[in-house]
Amino acid sequence: MFYVNPHAMRGPYPADLQTIMSIARAQQSREWLSHWDGLVPGSTPLRALPDLAASLGVRSVLVKDEALRSALGSFKALGAPIALVRLLLRRFEGHGFTARSLLNGEHRDALAAAGFTVVSATDGNHGRALAAAAQSIGCRCVIVLHAQVSVEREQAIAAYGAQIVRIAGNYDDSVEEAAALAERNECKGWHVVSDTSYDGYEIIPRDVMQGYAAVAAEVSEALDGDASPKDAACPITHVFLQGGVGGLAAGIVSYLWERWGVWRPTFVVVEPEQADCLYQSAMAGKAASASGAVDSVMAGLACGETSPLAWRFLQPAVDAFMTVTDAQAVDAMKRLATGTGNDVPFVAGESGVAGLAGLRLAAATPAMASALGLTSGSRVLLINTEGATAPSVYADLVGESATSVTQRQQAWLAR
């Protein structure tokens, strides 16, 4: 499915949105994150894939590889710690806490005495990142998992000391359960740290999304965009972004829109066809629910409810919404794992390839390509949001282990 958004605009970044998320706040988040040993120092790779670009009939394809952001294996490592730090700075104002001292674990005794506990639902990656951040900071963490989350992903979260709560149902049911747990235990110091917003709950999801903007900031710097005139066009013409509840897309869109204003790139959001909440929101003109069963091999995007806060950024900025099949996602995983003579092979997880799956479909469909202005001169940015966060699932889908792909990558780089 493909839908051109009639509400997309090309004006300057709106002032009301800038009060929620801004480049200045994104840079502050980056500075704070530089003090967390849960992240690999420096920026993640921005991979150029000239053979892939040629096969799709575009000028260039760049892939920002968030699989190498940290041992957590996904971009979620940018959002959860920032949201947790900002929450703690608000809750313990006047106690002398700083972002650096929190991330260094200097206040774990005070947090234990206060009974401070964070709780969240997850499909896997956000919960793992929150558990890791909570372990570093020194507070208790409870993660709610729904029926479709694999045991492999559960074990990866539990390895960071989180208490696991299992429920029946899907992701949206787990979001409700996490909120209910926090409400029942509010007097004990429990707080929801979720990456999706809902009625009356927007501050923490805002902080999560602001952390994700670090990805866009690194892309901008890598392209030397910050040195170009403010009225110059963005060196990227198109950005294909993963859907989910909309948090990542909102974080990236907000930064690039503020940076380039009317010259911003064309934004396209891609979702699993059975978890199409953002597509349905675009059709309805307001935050809406998915039309399908939600469950998808793209586990991180298997979300049924749009984040209303994220939608405030996506509705005026995203030029088109589209869906892809699980089979198309798996084909994209295999393409990146295989590489070519000029394209380095690398590991991209099930949700990490949604943007590439969408780009391949759009490039092969003349009507879509025309609607998007996708031509031989297009310069496309994709974001690989995760690596093999469930190694056995990755190996089953690709037919090769992530370790094997990485070994071939090393051989390619050593040529």
User: Is the pLDDT reported for residue 349 higher than 90?
Assistant: yes
Q: How confident is the model at residue 241 (pLDDT cuts 50, 70, 90)?
A: very high
Q: How confident is the model at residue 78 (pLDDT cuts 50, 70, 90)?
A: very high
pLDDT for residue 276: 96
CATH number of 2-74+213-413: 3.40.50.1100
pLDDT for residue 113: 93
- Tell me: the pLDDT tens digits for 265-296? 999 999 999 999 999 999 999 999 999 888 89
Distance CA 10, CA 261 (A): 7
Directed axis angle between helix 23-33 and helix 80-91, to 10°? 90
Q: Name the residue ranges covered by the structural domains of the chain.
A: 2-74+213-413, 80-192
Look up 123 and say whether it is catalytic.
yes
Average pLDDT over residues 190-212: 93
Q: How confident is the model at residue 199 (pLDDT cuts 50, 70, 90)?
A: confident
User: Is the pLDDT reported for residue 226 higher than 60?
Assistant: no
A 10 A CB-CB count for 113 gives: 10
- Tell me: the pLDDT tens digits for 289-347? 999 888 899 988 998 999 999 999 999 999 999 999 999 999 999 999 999 999 999 99
Distance CA 60, CA 295 (A): 33
Q: Of 156, 151, 167, 196, which Cα lies nearest the Cα of 304?
A: 196
Please pick, among 65, 76, 195, 319, the residue that the annotation labels catalytic.
76
pLDDT for residue 294: 86
Distance CA 398, CA 400 (A): 5
Q: How confident is the model at residue 228 (pLDDT cuts 50, 70, 90)?
A: low
Is this model's pTM higher than 0.75 or not?
Answer: yes
User: Is the pLDDT reported for residue 229 higher than 70?
Assistant: no
Q: How confident is the model at residue 75 (pLDDT cuts 50, 70, 90)?
A: very high
What's the whole-number average pLDDT of the chain?
A: 95
- Tell me: the pLDDT tens digits for 127-151? 999 999 999 999 999 999 999 888 9
Please pick, among 64, 65, 123, 172, the residue that the annotation labels catalytic.
123
A 10 A CB-CB count for 406 gives: 17
How is the beta sheet containing 238-242 ordered, strand by strand? 2-4, 320-324, 266-272, 238-242, 379-384, 60-65, 46-48
Look up 230 and say whether it is catalytic.
no
Same fold yes or no, 2-74+213-413 and 80-192: yes
Distance CA 197, CA 13 (A): 22
Is 80-192 assigned to CATH 3.40.50.1100?
yes
